[in-house]
Structure formats: structure tokens, C-alpha cells
Amino acid sequence: MRCMIVPPYLLARLSRLDATSLETVATAAHETLMHTQPLRAARQTAMLRPAHPTQAGHGPRRTISDAGGREVLPGTVVRREGGAPTADPAVDEAYDGLGATYALFADAFGRASIDDRGLGLDATVHYGARYDNAFWDGERMVFGDGDGEIFRRFTLSLSVIGHELSHGVTQYSNPLEYSGQSGALNESVSDVFGALVEQYARRQTVAEANWLIGAELFTEMVEGAALRSMKAPGTAYDDDILGVDPQPAHMRDFVETSDDNGGVHINSGIPNRAFYLVADSLGGFAWHRAGQIWYDTITGGALAPTATFADFARATAGAARSRFGGGSSELDAVERAWSSVGVRP
């Protein structure tokens, strides 16, 4: 499978640009779309795979490789765990981002790497030529350098790195089929923990965080703040080239579509907004209570692979009740948040 940060509908829109000045952007988007949009069957979340637990609890084991502009994996190893920084910003950003993701899950949730058994963290940078995406392929993180006109290099964004690696956490914890509402939940869970990776690394409270996914990706050419806004889905960008952010923030605006595996990148705005409302209601550091509830939900075994938003809402309420109690402010925040976005357990 390949879970990608840039939605296919954005790449498709860019690939149709016909202005001479944007020919490079259109070509880059077209090639990225053609090379990274597998069939629906190949995009289903991977089954659990065994990992070697010998390094559990001993810290991250990172390996960064360089594809050298080719679409070949894994590439040439350029930095290993404990190695000195290089002269390549993409290599060092990937290394630091993998470490920051490991740190959130280890420190906040007691998880030993993305599989909870000490799995090594591998990444490849400089994938493809002007490649407009980053993705988790079930085994490693892969980063393109962007086209330079719309997208910058994808290692710049810590929320993107956290997002993609969190697909691995879902894969090893509670696989959610990458289609329809379960696919949107898969994407949303990655946005939640991608945002938390960034907030934990910066020690930001709920009020201090920007709640944006991919805030560093767009060039100055784009009228937009990020790929997505968890705080206000549908407001991340409004641009002549990219169009308007299509994410809904409420079930009344749920998008029925066969594109994007049934709108997994679009409708994820609804559970994203729910998580933000829980975090905002509880305040402080989001990983302490809101994040703990979401983590308990995806690791608690209560979700079916085809879980709906209502199923997830019910599971988060159950997780809040189990950890904090039936009359807790945490449970009240969860129930009010889902109600606010129109999801009824």
C-alpha cells in the first residue's frame, strides 16, 4: 500500500494546468499521480506483520537512504542511527522527524516504535524527479523533493513525517480499510498524531499549536496555509491554481465520491474537527488526554477494519470512560465534540 500526504485530487488538478509558465508543475503532478496512484486493492491497509522485538525500549533505530532522483527503493544508505548530521538538509530533516515521531509515541504512550516491538525506522529521500508527494509504503517513509513551484521538499514538515509514520502505527495496531469512512478515519488518525508529533517536539499547548498539516510545504506562489486544517477544515487554502480546500467539518457536508478511495482525504476533516474540539475543550498539552483517548481507541481492539465515524465516536467515548471515568470531563468533551460535527454514536 501507499498512503500519501498529497491527495490525488490535488495532483489531478495540477496535472491539467495548461499555462506555459506552469508546464513544469503540470508535468511533475502528472508523473507523480501516475507513479503513486495504485489500484484500490493495492491501497488497502497492510495486514499485521511480525517484527523483531530485540530493540524494544532501546530508542529509535533510524536508517536514511538517498534515491538520487530515481524511483527506486531503498536507495543508498547515507545516515544511520547515531551518525553525524550531513550536508543534505533532506537527510537530516528526515532523521530528526523520525526521531521526533518515535519520541512522541515512546514518551507519551509508552510505545516502542511504530509496531510497539522496536521496529527500525527507515526512510528514503530525494525520491523521483520533482516528485510532489511523501508516502508510507507499509515498510518505510519516502519523500519527494517537490516541483519547487507549488511544493517544497516534503521533509520540511514535521507534521507530514508524523502523519505518514502514524499510518504504520495504525497498520500494526488496528488496521482500518483505506476506503470510505474507515479510510477517512485512517487518514484522520494520521493527521491527529502528525499534529501531536509536531506539538510534542515544540512543547506547544492546544492554544499555541497551529493545527495545520503540512504548513511548510507550499511555496510563496500558493494562497494557502497548509494541506489541511484540523481546527477549521475547509480553510487550509483558497488558491487560483489549487482551488478551495474541499474538506467538510460536519456530517451534513459529507462528500459522496468514488474518487480518492471514497474521499479519504476529504471527509477526514470531520473526525479531525472532532479531535480538535476535544483537545480544545480539555486544554493543556493535547497528547495528555485527547491524544491518550485516541491512542487507546486505535490500540484497544474495539474497531472493525470497516469502522464508520459513528463506530469510532462510540469507541472514543468508551476509551474516555475506561481511562477517566463515567462522569469525567474527558468523556463529556468527547461526546460533545462528536455531537458538534454531527456524528451520533
Residues known to be catalytic? 164, 265
Nine-digit cell at 29? 503532478
The three-class DSSP label of residue 200 is helix
- End-to-end Cα spacing for the chain: 30
Q: Any residues with CB less than 8 A from the CB of 78 and at least 6 apart, and which? A: 64, 65, 66, 86, 88, 91
Beta strand pairing status for 121-125 and 62-66?
parallel
In order, the DSSP letters of 225-293 are S-SEESSSTT-SBEETTTEE----SSGGG----SSHHHHTTTTTHHHHHHHHHHHHHH-S-TTTTHHHH
Q: How far apart are CA 134 and CA 284, in angstroms?
A: 31
Cell numbers at residue 286, please? 493535547
